[in-house]
Structure 1
Amino acid sequence: MPCKVLHVSEAFGGGIVSSLYSFADSTPEIDHHLLVCERQDQPLSKDLSARFSSISGMRRGFVGAVIDIRRKVEEVEPDFVHLHSSFAGVYGRMAGIDPSRLVYSPHGFSFHRRSANPALRGIYFVAEKMLSSRSAAFAGVSLKEVELAQRMNPRTRSVFIPNTTDFDHGPIRHFENDGHAHVVSMGRLCPQKDPGFLLQILKRLPAGVRDKFTFTWVGGGDEQMTAALKAAGVHVTGWVNHAEAHAYLAECDLYLHVAAWEGFPMTVIEAAALGRPIIVRNISAFSGFDLPADALVDSPAAAAERLGAWVDSPDARSGTYDMIGNIRDICSKDRQRAALSDLYRAGLA
């Protein structure tokens, strides 16, 4: 009998969707099942049945979610229940399931949310620490997540499971300096993705430099932020499907990732697979990977300076090209498959 894994997610949208797709695609020998809260802005895709043997909806709220998790566990009888995102991590670890069958992946710890006040972030941390012993393993999608999990509970196994993508690796797109570059950023317009960071960059670009760029934000969300971006000259696409988002990414000259916190962003992985030069905000998701310094920015001022150099100087672009190979290596399909296979096999030993 194949190993059975029930994946549970309360936040089934954005990068978690892509992450779960890649988990299932990387390990076809495993019998994958899915229990999720469907989001209105991202209905369940019709191709889920090709990846998951069963798909069920989960109610929002603690009581309903715990009941649904317990029922699905009784139905599927999985070897492992893999909890994805913070709320699923709470619900699953409080559902009375044998901890030896639980694996937890937060895809970005809740106590890293800069939009929350310090007191609330402290509560999130205490909750994570208290629940840290109620699982067989912690599966982080970044080295920083793994480090934090080990510090919270050294006795619980912590492993790095890289995100990856099913995109084929394309050739590196070297920018031909014709005096104009198209820059794309992507994600829900919300505090986590921090479009305000992009607005601060734009304010710091000298007029002559600003004219050399076209900026596009792929995604939708907060209406006030949408209006602010448009007023700053950014094209905001609103909600688009995955194929349309992929097309924007495939056509850009540079991918600029400005999120305030992440697990490990799927959009960066997809940009690397497509061979697009990349600059990222230097957040904890990228810690420990020895990425090119020229592809990392710590502030809007540094980002504005980097963009100005990038559009004018081939030497300033080398790090953004090197970033492509770095991300492809870290987030390879082979690495993800080996890590997942070891994770589940160790639990069955």
Structure 2
Amino acid sequence: MHVLHVSEVTWGGVVSLVHDFMAEQLRRGHRVSLLTPDAFPDPELPAVTRTSWVLERRRPSGYPRALAQLRSTIRRERPDVVHLHSAFAGFFGRLPVLSGTRRVPVVYQPHAWSFDLFTDARIQRSMTAWERTASRRTDALVTNCTDEIDEGREIGVRTPARALGVPLDVERFHPVDRDERDRHRRSLGLDHSKTLLCLGRLARQKGQDLLVAAWEATPLPDTRLLLVGPGDPEPLRRLAPTQWGTTICWIGDQHDVRPVVWASDVLVLPSRYETVAVVVAEAMASGVPVVANRVNGVDMAVTDGPSPPGGVVVPAGDMEALLAESRRLLDDPELRAALGRDGRERVVALFTPELVVDRLDEAYEQAMREQR
């Protein structure tokens, strides 16, 4: 099978997911091509045929060129299936006559629906109408979680759909012993305080502003809030003038996030919306329990199903509950250890690349049947 992945997103969890999909697909003997902007990190998979996509979201004047590049890539590569990642790839790739996908099976993965990306009601209505229309030009829908499928159904998306989960390398993300944990803490300059980790790019979606404001009002005792991720920290610093630099520590982007995960006691997820945050699976695979807002995908990742939970889920937006549950776990080493063990087992049972790409291959086959 020849798969063409198309993504305009060049950061965060989408990059990790695309990389893990491609690595497992190559292992299975699939042929894999990739169309992305140059800013997409090098996947370091030599067998992948990569094409540069000149696309900037904020430059509509460049859209015709981006559409032409997509069309020419499909004609040259002649894939068996086109896998579109996120809103802009989903937009260009589901203009079938213009994009060249009319005779090629199309699989769309939103990584958060386009109407969730905006707060303006008029834009939300327009995006909702577009997603409903574009779904009729989509042969299969794949999502990171069942919540995302349900959200699509609510607006009239009837495309055959499959929830994949998060493919995670459980050999790369694994628990460490106390000595290694302490070594990572020393290398990060962390003292013996308990450490609450918030990992993700600094953006409204990720909710660090909500968390930092709540922390400024009621910091947890003997605890360091560690913020990790790319972005401008200045707006957050202004929200916490007394705690920033003392109990709140921002260390910027990290090429390898494992040391900060291993150095932490609990991962906190204050996001406004997600579709299964990769960091949740990374933390649980590493034996670090999670306290998370109930946003799309979190229940599926942390608590749902027969596997024991790997953490605690609280109502979305309730920072008081988020910090209270974080404190409960931080104050109870035995509970943390139990949730850490269960979280690791949960990820191994649900989210290995082999299991997730099994589901993805089934979606590809369904898309190809839809085209026949």
Q: Which interval holds the TM-score relative to the shorter structure? A: 0.7 to 0.9
1:192 aligns with 2:205: yes
Equivalent residue, structure 2, for 1:215? 225
The alignment-based identity, stated in percent, is 22
Which SS does the other structure have where 1:192 is aligned? Answer: helix
Q: Verify: 1:347 aligned to 2:367, yes or no.
A: yes
Between the aligned partners of 2:346 and 2:122, the Cα distance in structure 1 is: 37
1:101 aligns with one of 99, 105, 129? 105
Residues 253-291 of structure 1: CA deviation (Å, up to 9, x unaligned): 111112111122111111122121211111122245644
Offset of 1:100 from its aligned partner?
Answer: 5.2
For the 8 Å contact 2:165–2:356, the answer to whether it is kept is: yes
In structure 2, the partner of 1:297 is 314
Which residue is equivalent to 2:159? 156
After superposition, give the CA deviation of every residue in 1:87-122 in whole Å (9 maximum; x if it has no partner).
110111015222651110010112223x52222222
State the Cα deviation string for residues 286-308 of structure 1 (Å, max 9, x = none).
Answer: 24564449611221010121122
Partner of 2:30: 30
Query: 1:229, CA displacement in angstroms?
Result: 6.5
SS at match of 1:59: coil
Distance 1:55 1:141 in 2: 25
- The match for 2:275 among 255, 263, 280 is 263
List per-residue Cα deviations over 1:183-240 (Å, max 9, x = no partner).
111111111111112113313535xxx2311111111213432433674332112233
Name the CA distance, whole Å, in 2 between partners of 1:18 and 1:153.
30
Output the amino acid matched with 2:327: G
2:91 maps to what in 1?
90
Q: Which residue of 2 aligns with 1:312?
A: 331
- 2: CA distance, partners of 1:141 / 1:308: 29
Partner deviation per Cα, 1:305-331 (whole Å, 9 max, x = no partner): 112222223465455653443344332
The answer on whether the counterparts of 1:172 and 1:321 sit within 8 Å (CA) in structure 2 is no
Q: Bigger shift: 180-189 or 85-94?
A: 180-189
Residue among 273, 276, 280 paired with 2:285:
273
Equivalent-residue separation in structure 2 for 1:214 and 1:155 (angstroms) = 46
Give distance in 1, aligned partners of 2:273 and 2:15.
18
CA distance in 2, matches of 1:295, 1:274: 16
Provide the C-alpha distance between the structure 1 equivalents of 2:145 and 2:205, rounded to a whole number of angstroms.
Answer: 17
Change (3 A) 1:263 1:93: same
Change (3 A) 1:325 1:204: farther
Structure-2-length-normalised TM-score? 0.81
In structure 2, distance between residues paired with 1:264 and 1:87: 20
- Give the aligned partner of residue 125 of structure 2: 122
Q: What RMSD, in angstroms, separates the aligned Cα atoms of the two structures?
A: 2.7
CA 1:247–1:294 in 2, change beyond 3 Å: closer, same or farther?
A: closer
Contact 2:231/2:252 (8 A) holds in 1: yes
Kindly state the Cα deviation for residue 75 of structure 1 after the two structures are TM-superposed: 1.0
- Equivalent of 1:235, from 249, 252, 262? 249
- Cα 1:223/1:307, change in 2 over 3 Å: closer
Deviates further, 196-205 or 145-154: 145-154
In structure 2, stretches of 5+ residues that fail to align are: 183-190
Q: Which is further off, 147-156 or 127-136?
A: 147-156
Relative to structure 1, the CA distance from residue 152 to residue 19 in structure 2 (aligned partners, 3 Å threshold; closer, same or farther) is: same
Q: TM-score, normalised by structure 1?
A: 0.86
8 Å Cα contact 1:162/1:335 also seen in 2: no
Taking the aligned partners of 1:50 and 1:165, their CA distance within structure 2 comes to 20
What secondary structure sits across from 2:44 in the alignment? Answer: helix
Separation of aligned partners in 2, 1:276 and 1:229: 28
Q: Give the counterpart letter for 1:334 in structure 2.
A: E
**What's 2:357 paired with?**
337
Find the partner of 2:139 among 115, 136, 147. 136
Using the TM superposition, give the Cα deviation of residue 126 of structure 1 relative to its aligned residue in structure 2, in angstroms: 1.4
CA contact (8 A) 1:172 1:274 kept: yes
Output the amino acid matched with 1:212.
Answer: D
Name the residue aligned to 1:13. 11
